[in-house]
Amino acid sequence: MRTIGIIGGGQLGRMLAMAAARLNFRTVILEPQPDCPAAQVANSQIVANYDDEAALAKLAEACDLITYEFENVPVAAAERLARALPVYPPPKALEVSQDRVTEKQFLNGCGIETARFHAIDDQEQLEQALADFSGIGVLKTRRLGYDGKGQRLFHHKTDDAAGAYMALGNVPLILESFIAFEREISIIAARGTDGAIACFDPAENIHRNGILHTSTVPASVGETTTAAARAAAATILEALGYVGVIGVEFFVLADGTPIVNEIAPRVHNSGHWTEAACVVSQFEQHIRAVTGLALSDGARHSDCVMQNLIGDDIEDVPAWLAKPNALVHLYGKSEARPGRKMGHVTWLI
């Protein structure tokens, strides 16, 4: 029986471990938090930081291959592991996705359109970049931002930019131009060790306070938009020599053109619907990909809506359980906090 090492012990690692068990694989979690959500269902946990050399050596010795549940795994740690055993997705995917400027340069180099952008390293560069964008744009940290954190919006050319660079931590930033989009969609795609590629149907996503609220399938887009989004995902997978599942987020313009917002080299929140509406979920698809098994074609058998349960939404679980056609998935977190993802529910429509 082969063993898969999973770096990261949150809910995505938890669902990967559950999918791996169904296919007769063992899992070992590397995560500094004891009794993390993933360790509750995995075979064992190594309690250590992600860059702990002794822990990485122990993980490599215990496993046949390594994957990860989040994109902020230290690249050096992934490269160290890759010298000893397969690491999927490859460390290059981490390197590209961890810096928003590097990510956009990579995408543009693949011929994929994104928002216009400027790298920002001080207040003066910010003011010059805002002038180029007529005072309007989205300012973000280049690294470590997620769920709307590390961002500031400039809606009008009269918005005061004074002190904005310092307010976001005196760290490298990126200013992105506003995209006049009609909706947001995402594609969950996978590439196997043999180069085979499969995509799930696009989901239409709605965010609240920077956090994904719902994903609805089918998305309100035409076949041309869907085909273009799938093609962009396939281009990204091929360019990275990728193995595993990836999430690609898009803005869709009024004419149906999809513009890539960002990529996530892992299973993705907007793909949780697949566990209820497809025979093979994104989590099983990822396990199949990294272990060399045949990929599912990604077909769905039902339309659905997935909703995140955030913070006190956990109190609504009894009501959700009483509803027909609803699948509730909780993450094993003992404390509900504002903005914390406690679980999700997907209902078939």
Tokens of 300: 């769905």
Answer whether residue 94 is part of any domain: no
| Alpha carbons 258 and 248: distance in angstroms, whole number | 11
Answer whether residue 277 is part of any domain: yes
| Alpha carbons 349 and 189: distance in angstroms, whole number | 23
How large is the average pLDDT for residues 178-201? 97
Amino acid at 315: E
- Residues 234 and 316 reside in one and the same domain: yes
Q: Which residue has the higher pLDDT, 99 or 35?
A: 99
Q: Given a cut of 70, is residue 148 above it in pLDDT?
A: no
Q: Given a cut of 60, is residue 175 above it in pLDDT?
A: yes
- Residues 244 and 196 reside in one and the same domain: yes
Task: Please report the sign of the dihedral spanned by the C-alpha atoms of residue 73, residue 9, residue 195, residue 61.
Answer: positive
Q: Are 334 and 300 in contact (CB under 8 A)?
A: no
pLDDT for 42:
98
pLDDT for 169:
86
Answer whether residue 151 is part of any domain: yes
Residue that finishes a domain, picked among 158, 176, 194: 176
Residue that finishes a domain, picked among 137, 156, 176: 176
Lowest-pLDDT range, 14-28, 67-81, 141-155, 255-269? 141-155
pLDDT tens digits, one per residue of 34-93:
989 999 999 999 999 999 999 999 999 999 999 999 999 999 999 999 999 999 999 999
If you ran DSSP here, which 8-state letter would residue 2 be given?
A: -
| Alpha carbons 89 and 201: distance in angstroms, whole number | 21
Q: State the CB neighbour count (10 A cutoff) for residue 1.
A: 7
Q: Given a cut of 70, is residue 291 above it in pLDDT?
A: yes
Answer whether residue 110 is part of any domain: no
Answer whether residue 83 is part of any domain: yes
pLDDT tens digits, one per residue of 309-341:
999 999 999 999 999 999 999 999 989 999 999
By residue range, what is the domain housing residue 37? 3-87
pLDDT band of residue 262 (cuts 50, 70, 90) is: very high
pLDDT band of residue 160 (cuts 50, 70, 90) is: confident
Percent pLDDT > 90 in the chain is 89
Task: Please report the sign of the dihedral spanned by the C-alpha atoms of residue 301, residue 305, residue 309, residue 314.
Answer: negative
Answer whether residue 102 is part of any domain: no
- Residues 201 and 237 reside in one and the same domain: yes
Q: Given a cut of 80, is residue 159 above it in pLDDT?
A: no
Q: What is the pTM of this model?
A: 0.95
Lowest-pLDDT range, 78-82, 100-104, 141-145, 186-190? 141-145
Answer whether residue 103 is part of any domain: no
Q: Which residue has the higher pLDDT, 206 or 161?
A: 206
pLDDT for 149:
62
- Residues 193 and 307 reside in one and the same domain: yes
Which CATH number covers residue 127? 3.30.1490.20
| Closest C-alpha among 349, 103, 112, 322 to residue 215 | 349
| Closest C-alpha among 182, 188, 185 to residue 205 | 185
- Residues 227 and 293 reside in one and the same domain: yes
Residues pairing with 151 in the sheet: 140
Q: Are 69 and 266 in contact (CB under 8 A)?
A: yes
Question: Which alpha helices (H) appear in 110-195, and where do they start and end?
Answer: 123-132, 164-167
- Residues 71 and 40 reside in one and the same domain: yes
- Residues 222 and 171 reside in one and the same domain: no
As to burial, measured by CB atoms within 10 angstroms (0-12 exposed, 13-18 middle, 19+ buried), residue 21 is middle
Q: State the CB neighbour count (10 A cutoff) for residue 15.
A: 24
Own/partner pairs, 204-212, CB within 8 angstroms, 24+ separation:
205/249, 205/270, 207/148, 209/148, 209/339, 210/147, 210/148, 210/149, 210/151, 211/147, 211/148, 211/308, 211/310, 211/339, 211/341, 212/147, 212/269, 212/270, 212/308
- Residues 254 and 125 reside in one and the same domain: no
Answer whether residue 96 is part of any domain: no
pLDDT band of residue 166 (cuts 50, 70, 90) is: confident
Which CATH number covers residue 17? 3.40.50.20
- Residues 9 and 155 reside in one and the same domain: no
Percent pLDDT > 70 in the chain is 98
Q: Which residue has the higher pLDDT, 31 or 149?
A: 31
Does the bond joining 86 to the residue before it have cis omega, within 30 degrees of 0? no
pLDDT for 146:
61
Task: Please report the sign of the dihedral spanned by the C-alpha atoms of residue 213, residue 215, residue 221, residue 224.
Answer: positive
Which CATH number covers residue 330? 3.30.470.20
Give the number of domains in the chain.
3
- Residues 145 and 247 reside in one and the same domain: no
Residue that finishes a domain, picked among 142, 157, 176: 176
| DSSP line for 229-284 | HHHHHHHHHHHHT--EEEEEEEEEETTS-EEEEEEESS--GGGTTHHHHBSS-HHH
pLDDT for 212:
96
pLDDT tens digits, one per residue of 197-246:
999 999 999 999 889 999 999 999 999 999 999 999 999 999 999 999 99
Rg (CA), the chain: 20
- Residues 203 and 169 reside in one and the same domain: no
Mean pLDDT of the residues in the chain: 95
- Residues 334 and 221 reside in one and the same domain: yes
pLDDT band of residue 147 (cuts 50, 70, 90) is: low
